C-alpha cells in the first residue's frame, strides 16, 4: 500500500480541508504530464505489423510530425489511435501503407515491417502494398463508376480475377462481407456516388476487402455518418476483425472504446500511452491520457 | 487537479459532492443522536430519529438520480467514471447506515430500563467509533486519499472486537439474570446494528480506494 501512494501525494494532501475540495483527484500514481516516453506495452505476441522507432518529418525534415513511435498491430485485432488534432495519429496511420510517400518533402525514419518485410525497402512496390494494407478515408470516396465497377476495378488491376464469373463472384462476396449486398444487388450498374453516405462508406470498405488485404486502415471512417450508419460500420468492423487486422483513427472516444481491443493515445507527435482499451478508458496510466479522455485538456 | 474544459460538468460534480457531504453529515448526526437516546433511554429522541431517517433516504435517491443523469449525459471516462460509480455506491452505504441508526433508536423505544453499564459502554464506544470512521472516510473521499481510506477500513477490526466483548457480556448477563432477557435481547440487536454500520463504512473505504486507484482493495488485501 505504501508504495501506491507517493510521498509527494502525501505532502499534497496535508492541510487540505474537505470543504476546499470541489472536484475529485485522479490516481496519484499517474505518470507525470512532462514525461513523454511511452507508457504501456506496444508489443504483441504475433504482430501483423511491427513499427520500430518511427519518426516522420514534413517540409524536408523541417517539422517533426511524429517522434520515435514503436508499436505493433496485432493479428485479428482492432487498434484505435486517439488524440487531439495534430497529434500525429493520422500521420502514423498513413505510414503503415506508405500514403505519406505522396506528400512532397515527407520523410519517414525507423522501421515498419509487414509480416517481417520492411515496407520501406526500395524493392517494395507500393501498389500491391496498398492492396495488402488497404485504407478507408474519412469522407467516402467511391470511384465515379458503377457500384459493380467500384469493387471489380481493384481485383482486375491486381490480377486477382480471370473471368467474368470470377469477378461477379468476388463482387458479390465483397459486398456481402461489407453488409451492402442486399441493399444494392438489384442496382449494381448504377453509380456508386448515388448511394447514401453510410452505403458509400461500406462500398469503400467492400472495395478494400475485394483485393484481399492483410490490414485495413481507417481514418475517421464514421465522422461523416449518422449514428445508425456509424453503428452499421462499427458492427462491420467487429465482423472484419475475424479476418483482418484493423487500425482506426477516431476522434470519438466512445467509438474507440466500442470497437477496439487496444488503444493508443498520441500527443504532439509522441505515443504517450498504449494499452488495453478497457484500461485506457477506466484507469489510464499517464496523466495526459487521463486529462484528454476526461475532457480536462489544456 | 485540472478542471474540465466544460465548466458546467465541474459545477455538477461540485453539487454532487455537496449532496454527499450533506448525507454523510445527516448520518453522523443521526448516529450521535442514537447514542444519546440509547445512553439516557430517551424514547422521544429515539422516535424523532426514526422520523428523520426519511431525509437520508431522500438524499440517497437524489444522489442516485444525479449520478445516473451525469453518466447518461456526460458519458464520463476514467477518474470521472470511477468517481460517479463510487458516489452511487457510497450514497447507498450511507442510506443503510441511516437505517441502522433508526433501527438502534427503535430498539431504544423497546428498552424497559437503563441497560447495565458494561455492555452499554461498549455499545456507546462502538457508535462513537463508527462516527469517527464515517467522518474519516468522508475526509478521505473529498481528499481522494486512498491511504486514509485503507486506515478506516482496518479500523473496523476494533468494532468487531468490541462487538464480540459485548456479546460475551450480554450472554453471561442473560444466564445470570433471567428477568433481564428482554432488555438483553434489545442490546444484542443494538450491538449488531453497530457492527453492521462498521461493515458499511468499510464498504465506503473500498469504494474510495477504487475511485482513487482504479483497483479493488480486496484484491490487494488478499494478495498481501
| CB count in 10 Å sphere of residue B5 | 13
Of B4, B83, B138, the CB nearest to A18: B138
**Cβ-based burial of A183 (10 A; exposed 0-12, middle 13-18, buried ≥19):** middle
Q: What percent of chain B has pLDDT over 90?
A: 86
**Cβ-based burial of B153 (10 A; exposed 0-12, middle 13-18, buried ≥19):** buried
Distances (CA, A) of A265 to A49, A79, A282, B67: 18, 11, 14, 28
Q: How far apart are CA B192 and CA B209, in angstroms?
A: 26
Mind giving me the DSSP string for A233-283? HHHHHHHHTTTSEEEEE-S-HHHHHHH-SEEEEEETTEEEEEEEHHHHHHS
Q: Average the pLDDT over A107-126 and give the result.
A: 96
Distances (CA, A) of B179 to B184, B185, B191, B218, B221: 10, 11, 20, 44, 45
- Which of A52, A141, A32 has the alpha carbon at shortest distance from A95? A52
* DSSP-assigned beta bridge partners for residue A246: A78, A216
Q: Are A174 and A151 in contact (CB under 8 A)?
A: yes
Q: Are A229 and A222 in contact (CB under 8 A)?
A: yes
Single pTM value for the model: 0.84
- Which of A177, A100, A97 has the alpha carbon at shortest distance from A134? A97
Query: Residue A298 — pLDDT band, cuts 50, 70, 90?
Result: low
Q: How far apart are CA B116 and CA B124, in angstroms?
A: 12
Residue predicted with more confidence, A280 or B174: A280
A21 in contact with B, Cβ within 8 Å: yes
Q: Average the pLDDT over B96-101 and give the result.
A: 98
B1 contacts A26? CB cut-off 8 A = yes
- Which of A125, A133, A152 has the alpha carbon at shortest distance from A48? A133
Residue A14: pLDDT above 90?
A: no
pLDDT of residue A7: 40
Residue B203: pLDDT above 80?
A: yes
Query: Residue A155 — pLDDT band, cuts 50, 70, 90?
Result: very high
Of B5, B150, B213, the CB nearest to A296: B5
Distances (CA, A) of A198 to A201, A225, A229, B63: 5, 6, 5, 40
Of B75, B81, B143, the CB nearest to A13: B143
Chain A positions touching B147 (Cβ under 8 A) are: 1-2, 4-5, 10
Q: Average the pLDDT over B109-127 and give the result.
A: 90
Q: Tell me the per-residue pLDDT of A97-112, one tens digit each, with 9 for 90 and over.
A: 999 999 999 999 999 9
Query: Residue B220 — pLDDT band, cuts 50, 70, 90?
Result: confident
Of A2, A282, A296, the CB nearest to B81: A282
Residue predicted with more confidence, B141 or A23: B141
Q: Average the pLDDT over B136-153 and give the result.
A: 96
Buried b (16+ CB within 10 A) or exposed e, B20-59: bbebbebbbbbbebbbbbbbebbeebbeebbebbeebeeb
Query: Residue A27 — pLDDT band, cuts 50, 70, 90?
Result: low
Average pLDDT, chain B: 94
Q: How far apart are CA A132 and CA A209, in angstroms?
A: 9
Residue B17: pLDDT above 90?
A: yes
End-to-end CA distance of chain B: 31
Query: Residue B221 — pLDDT band, cuts 50, 70, 90?
Result: confident
| Cα A78 to the center of its chain, rounded Å | 8
Query: Residue A24 — pLDDT band, cuts 50, 70, 90?
Result: very low
| CB count in 10 Å sphere of residue A144 | 9
Q: Tell me, what DSSP letter sits at residue A25? A: -
* DSSP-assigned beta bridge partners for residue A266: A271
Average pLDDT, chain A: 90
CA distance A223 to chain B (A): 19
pLDDT of residue A184: 97
Buried b (16+ CB within 10 A) or exposed e, A101-126: eeeeebbbebebbbeeeebbeeeeee
- Which of A107, A47, A54, A103 has the alpha carbon at shortest distance from A77? A47
Q: Which residues make Cβ contacts (< 8 Å) with residue A147, sequence separation at least 6?
A: A175, A184, A187, A188, A189, A190, A191, A192, A195, A203
Query: Residue A29 — pLDDT band, cuts 50, 70, 90?
Result: confident
Chain A positions touching B138 (Cβ under 8 A) are: 18
Q: Where are the alpha helices (DSSP H) in B40-116?
A: 43-74, 78-110
CA dihedral sign, ordered A208, A209, A215, A217: positive
B2 contacts A298? CB cut-off 8 A = yes
Chain A positions touching B150 (Cβ under 8 A) are: 1
Q: In what order do the strands lie in the sheet with A117-118?
A: A63-74, A47-58, A107-114, A117-118
Q: What percent of chain A has pLDDT over 90?
A: 86
Q: Are B38 and B104 in contact (CB under 8 A)?
A: yes
Q: How far apart are CA B92 and CA A261, in angstroms?
A: 33
pLDDT of residue B177: 81
CA distance A277 to chain B (A): 11
Query: Residue A28 — pLDDT band, cuts 50, 70, 90?
Result: low
Q: How far apart are CA A109 and CA A190, in angstroms?
A: 44
Cell of A54: 518511427
End-to-end CA distance of chain A: 32
Q: Tell me the per-residue pLDDT of A228-279, one tens digit each, with 9 for 90 and over.
A: 989 999 999 999 999 999 999 999 999 999 999 999 999 999 999 999 999 9
Query: Residue A11 — pLDDT band, cuts 50, 70, 90?
Result: very low
pLDDT of residue B176: 84
CA dihedral sign, ordered A220, A225, A231, A237: negative
Q: Are B2 and A298 in contact (CB under 8 A)?
A: yes
Q: Tell me the per-residue pLDDT of B64-96, one tens digit each, with 9 for 90 and over.
A: 999 999 999 999 999 999 999 999 999 999 999
Of A19-28, A29-38, A269-278, B182-191, the least confident = A19-28
Amino acid at each position: 500500500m505504501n508504495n501506491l501512494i507517493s510521498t509527494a501525494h502525501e505532502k499534497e494532501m496535508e492541510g487540505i480541508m474537505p470543504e476546499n475540495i470541489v472536484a475529485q483527484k485522479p490516481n496519484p500514481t499517474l505518470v507525470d504530464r512532462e514525461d513523454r516516453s511511452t507508457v504501456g506495452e506496444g508489443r504483441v505476441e504475433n504482430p501483423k505489423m511491427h513499427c520500430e522507432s518511427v519518426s516522420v518529418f514534413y517540409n524536408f525534415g523541417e517539422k517533426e510530425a511524429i517522434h520515435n513511435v514503436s508499436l505493433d498491430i496485432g493479428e485479428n485485432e482492432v487498434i484505435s489511435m486517439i488524440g487531439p488534432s495534430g497529434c500525429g495519429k493520422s500521420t502514423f496511420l498513413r505510414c503503415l501503407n506508405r500514403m505519406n510517400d505522396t506528400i512532397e518533402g515527407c520523410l519517414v525514419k525507423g522501421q515498419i515491417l509487414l509480416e517481417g518485410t520492411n515496407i520501406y525497402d526500395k524493392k517494395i512496390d507500393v501498389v500491391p502494398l496498398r492492396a495488402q494494407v488497404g485504407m478507408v478515408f474519412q469522407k467516402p470516396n467511391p470511384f465515379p463508376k458503377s457500384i459493380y465497377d467500384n469493387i471489380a476495378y481493384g481485383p482486375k488491376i491486381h490480377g486477382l480475377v480471370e473471368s467474368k464469373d470470377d469477378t461477379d463472384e468476388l463482387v458479390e462476396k465483397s459486398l456481402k462481407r461489407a453488409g451492402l449486398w442486399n441493399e444494392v444487388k438489384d442496382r449494381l450498374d448504377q453509380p456508386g456516388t448515388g448511394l447514401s453516405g453510410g452505403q458509400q462508406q461500406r462500398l469503400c470498405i467492400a472495395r478494400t476487402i475485394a483485393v484481399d488485404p492483410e490490414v485495413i486502415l481507417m481514418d475517421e471512417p464514421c465522422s461523416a455518418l449518422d449514428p445508425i450508419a456509424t453503428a452499421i460500420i462499427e458492427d462491420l468492423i467487429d465482423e472484419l476483425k475475424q479476418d483482418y487486422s484493423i487500425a482506426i483513427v477516431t476522434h470519438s472516444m466512445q467509438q474507440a472504446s466500442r470497437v477496439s481491443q487496444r488503444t493508443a493515445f498520441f500527443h504532439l507527435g509522441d505515443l504517450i500511452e498504449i494499452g488495453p482499451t478497457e484500461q485506457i478508458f477506466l484507469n489510464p496510466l499517464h496523466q495526459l491520457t487521463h486529462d484528454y479522455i476526461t475532457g480536462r485538456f489544456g | 487537479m485540472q478542471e474540465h474544459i466544460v465548466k458546467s460538468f465541474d459545477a455538477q460534480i461540485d453539487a454532487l459532492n455537496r449532496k454527499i457531504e450533506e448525507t454523510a453529515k445527516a448520518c453522523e448526526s443521526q448516529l450521535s443522536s442514537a447514542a444519546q437516546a440509547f445512553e439516557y433511554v430517551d424514547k422521544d429522541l429515539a422516535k424523532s430519529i426514526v422520523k428523520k431517517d426519511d431525509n437520508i433516504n431522500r438524499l440517497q435517491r437524489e444522489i442516485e438520480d444525479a449520478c445516473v443523469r451525469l453518466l447518461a449525459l456526460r458519458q464520463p471516462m476514467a477518474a470521472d467514471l470511477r468517481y460517479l460509480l463510487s458516489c452511487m455506491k457510497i450514497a447507498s452505504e450511507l442510506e443503510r447506515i441511516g437505517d441502522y441508526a433508526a433501527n438502534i433508536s427503535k430498539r431504544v423505544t423497546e428498552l424497559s430500563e437503563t441497560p447495565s453499564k458494561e455492555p452499554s459502554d461498549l455499545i456507546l464506544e462502538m457508535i462513537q467509533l463508527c462516527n469517527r470512521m464515517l467522518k474519516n472516510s468522508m475526509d478521505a473521499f473529498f481528499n481522494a486519499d486512498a491511504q486514509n481510506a485503507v486506515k478506516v477500513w482496518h479500523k473496523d477490526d476494533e468494532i468487531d472486537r468490541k462487538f464480540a466483548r459485548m456479546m460475551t457480556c450480554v450472554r453471561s448477563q442473560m444466564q445470570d439474570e433471567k428477568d433481564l432477557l428482554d432488555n438483553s435481547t434489545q442490546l444484542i440487536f443494538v450491538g449488531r446494528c453497530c457492527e453492521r454500520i462498521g461493515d458499511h463504512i468499510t464498504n465506503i473505504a473500498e469504494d474510495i480506494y477504487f475511485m482513487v486507484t482504479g483497483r479493488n482493495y480486496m484484491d490487494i488485501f488478499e494478495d498481501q
